[in-house]
């Protein structure tokens, strides 16, 4: 444990905040992979979502010319023909649903439009595509805080608990190779998760505390091992 506590996780993990299925996020994914040439890429996915995304693209006749990829498939595509580790670090959708159902208090009343007063003048996706990422993240945070006041169980699971689990899994990946010559792990997560994960990675003790507070059992991230294909 002492060796792990001495690792600077923030130095070893490069977090890329994204807005899913936006053109700018796909471009950011390509650029991040090409510029850092990582051997380890972490995705805010579980195995089921990973397989669904990839199988959908494989079966789609428009795949070769498609402009609607998500940043996760874009990132793996940008890796090209290289040896690489793809780590799936998120909890499953079924686990999210179960944890929300178990956590909901008798007086919580989820409302899909609870944050209506925080609606921006323009569509958040359009703002993201235009490069106003900070404004979109700020809007998202205000929406989530409004939801916390009405139904705190939902954002606790969707944001706080997933942050703790993803941070723990990223820390675990780093700890497997603490003195590597190629230290960067490139992690793609929704922009709403970046701040919370960074705070946790600064303090491994805090990660352990959050896992215990939320009653989360740690399990290792899922590894997708890519092997370069030798072309004659």
User: 146: closest CA among 74, 188, 154?
Assistant: 154
Pairing of β 40-43 and β 185-190: parallel
Instruction: Tell which wins on pLDDT, 58 or 186.
Output: 186
- Domains of the chain by residue range: 2-108+152-226, 111-150
CA triple 48-136-194, angle to 5 deg:
55
Instruction: Tell which wins on pLDDT, 146 or 166.
Output: 166
Given this model, what pLDDT does residue 30 score? 85
Residue 114: pLDDT band (50, 70, 90) is very low
Q: pTM here?
A: 0.83
What is the mean predicted confidence (pLDDT) over 115-123? 52
- Give the CA diameter of the chain: 65
> Is 105's pLDDT higher than 70?
yes
For the chain, give the number of residues.
232
DSSP string, 181-225: SS--EEEEEEHHHHHHHHHHHT-HHHHHHHHHHHTPPP-PPEEEE
Given this model, what pLDDT does residue 113 score? 46
pLDDT, the chain, mean: 80
With a pLDDT cut of 90, the percent of the chain lying above it is 34
Rounded CA-CA distance 107/122 in Å is: 33
């Amino acid at each position: 444990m002492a060796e792990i506590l001495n690792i600077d996780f923030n130095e070893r993990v490069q977090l890329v905040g994204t807005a899913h299925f936006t053109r700018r996020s796909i471009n950011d994914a390509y650029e991040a992979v090409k510029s850092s040439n990582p051997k380890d890429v972490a995705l805010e996915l579980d195995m089921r979502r990973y397989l669904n995304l990839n199988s959908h693209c494989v079966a789609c006749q428009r795949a070769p010319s498609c402009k609607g990829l998500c940043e996760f498939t874009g990132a793996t595509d940008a890796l090209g023909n290289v040896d690489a580790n793809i780590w799936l670090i998120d909890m499953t959708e079924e686990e999210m649903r179960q944890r929300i159902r178990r956590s909901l208090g008798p007086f919580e009343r989820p409302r899909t439009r609870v944050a209506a007063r925080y609606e921006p003048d323009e569509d958040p996706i359009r703002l993201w595509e235009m490069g106003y990422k900070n404004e979109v993240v700020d809007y998202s945070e205000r929406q989530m805080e409004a939801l916390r006041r009405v139904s705190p169980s939902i954002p606790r699971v969707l944001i706080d608990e997933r942050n703790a689990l993803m941070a723990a899994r990223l820390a675990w990946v780093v700890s497997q190779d603490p003195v590597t010559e190629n230290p960067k792990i490139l992690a793609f997560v929704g922009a709403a998760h970046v701040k919370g994960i960074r705070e946790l990675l600064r303090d491994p003790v805090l990660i352990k505390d959050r896992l215990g507070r939320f009653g989360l059992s740690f399990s290792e991230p899922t590894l997708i091992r890519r092997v370069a294909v030798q072309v004659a």
